[in-house]
Structure 1
Amino acid sequence: MSQTPDAPSSSLRAIAQTFRLTGWISFWIQLVLGVVSSIIVLLFAIFNQRTGSPSNNPGTGFGVFLAICGLVVLGGGIYLAYRYTRIGKQLESSNPSNRPRKSETVQVLRLGLWVNLGGTLVTLLGAQAIVGTLVARSISPQAITTQFFDPTRIISGLDMLVVQANTNTVSAHFAGLIASLWLLNRINRP
């Protein structure tokens, strides 16, 4: 196979393959964790609306709101991971005008870093609010003289699933951070 003057060099092909592989790995990790977290948060929102539900605690609402915000930001991270695969495909182009410039690629990677850092922050704040509410619920004293059991003091399995959903979302953002950092390091190698 003869190499034309405009064909990408072997190092450029290696970078392109790294972008595609890392982009797909990051895309699927974030997508799977995001879908699982979304389903759990959706279930929580549905069951939390029932009156008399042990999960019906107004203090958890802000934490769930932040968890949903973290999932929305994760959608941006998933899009950027997919965009990394498209950058890899463009880098393999035999036409140099179709290849993105290094500065454009670095800008996309930095955006990916900021999106995933922001998503991690929002999701961690949501996790802190939810866990704080659950801890307050678990240690608050119940009146001994009351004859009725207070269901709002129960920490249900659904409450713990919301904590797990937040952990999944943070893990998804972490995968996006690792992918962006890896690619940024790879293209800045001498």
Structure 2
Amino acid sequence: MSQNPDAQSSSSNLRTIAQTFRLTGWISFWIQLVLGVISGIIVLLFGIFSQRAGSPNNNPGTGFGVFLAICGLVVLGGGIYLAFRYTRIGNKLLSSNPSNRPRKVETVQVLRLGLWINLGGTLVTLLGAQAIVGTLVARSISPQAVTTQLFDPTRIISGLDMLVVQANINTVSAHFSGLVASLWLLNRINKS
């Protein structure tokens, strides 16, 4: 027997981990990218329409919430990059030259960075959602300025307001998919 069974097992295990990195990285990449683009478009539209003169959406709480939502989207860009990087790590792990393969310590550091980025993005986005929802709740439960002669349009919750809440939920979902991918890969690499 010219081949060592342990070497075959190690090679097979490395190939499995590399394929797991590639598949998980691509799934996470596309989920985060699609949800991030949808959220970005919604927040951008909200920003354009809320700047109109006399718009009922000009509220300091909503403005801060939208700012945090944009910050969450920026952080999501880092999560998308790291998901793509996972696919590159998977390709490097398949390299026939052992010196081209990333070390386990380096790979774990990248995964931990992915965890921290997605956790931070989730926190910022949730804070933005809380600010926006808090403003909408305050608007909805405040005494309505409806009299026989006066109607206050700032008390109306518009569909655009609800779209911004949906955009925040999409962003949180994107960060969650990044967290799941990082945790899954960290678990897989620690089992090897």
User: TM tier, shorter chain?
Assistant: over 0.9
Instruction: Indicate the percent of aligned positions where both proteins have the same amino acid.
Output: 88
Q: 5+ unaligned residues in a row in structure 2: which ranges?
A: none
Name the amino acid aligned to 2:173: S
1:57–1:152: 8 Å Cα contact kept in structure 2? no
Summarize the alignment of residues 1-80 of structure 1 with structure 2, pairs less than 5 Å apart: 9-80=11-82
* Greater per-residue helix proportion: 2
1:52–1:151: 8 Å Cα contact kept in structure 2? no
Name the amino acid aligned to 2:143: P
Summarize the alignment of residues 84-99 of structure 1 with structure 2, pairs less than 5 Å apart: 84-99=86-101
1:82 shift after superposition: 0.2
Q: Is 1:120 equivalent to 2:122 in the alignment?
A: yes
- Give the match for residue 81 of structure 1: 83
Listed one character per residue, the Cα deviations across residues 45-86 of structure 1 (whole Å, up to 9, x for unaligned) are 000000122322232000000000000000000000000000
Q: Which of residues 150, 163, 181 in structure 2 aligns to 1:161? A: 163
Listed one character per residue, the Cα deviations across residues 6-56 of structure 1 (whole Å, up to 9, x for unaligned) are xx7011000000000000000000000000000000000000000122322
Within 1, Cα distance between the matches of 2:146 and 2:101?
72
Within 1, Cα distance between the matches of 2:50 and 2:60?
10
Within 1, Cα distance between the matches of 2:154 and 2:148?
14
Within 2, Cα distance between the matches of 1:189 and 1:142?
59
RMSD: 1.6
> Once superposed, which parts of structure 1, at least 4 consecutive aligned residues long, lie more than 3 Å away?
143-146
- Give the match for residue 173 of structure 2: 171
Number of residue equivalences: 186
Name the amino acid aligned to 2:68: L
Within 1, Cα distance between the matches of 2:41 and 2:139?
24
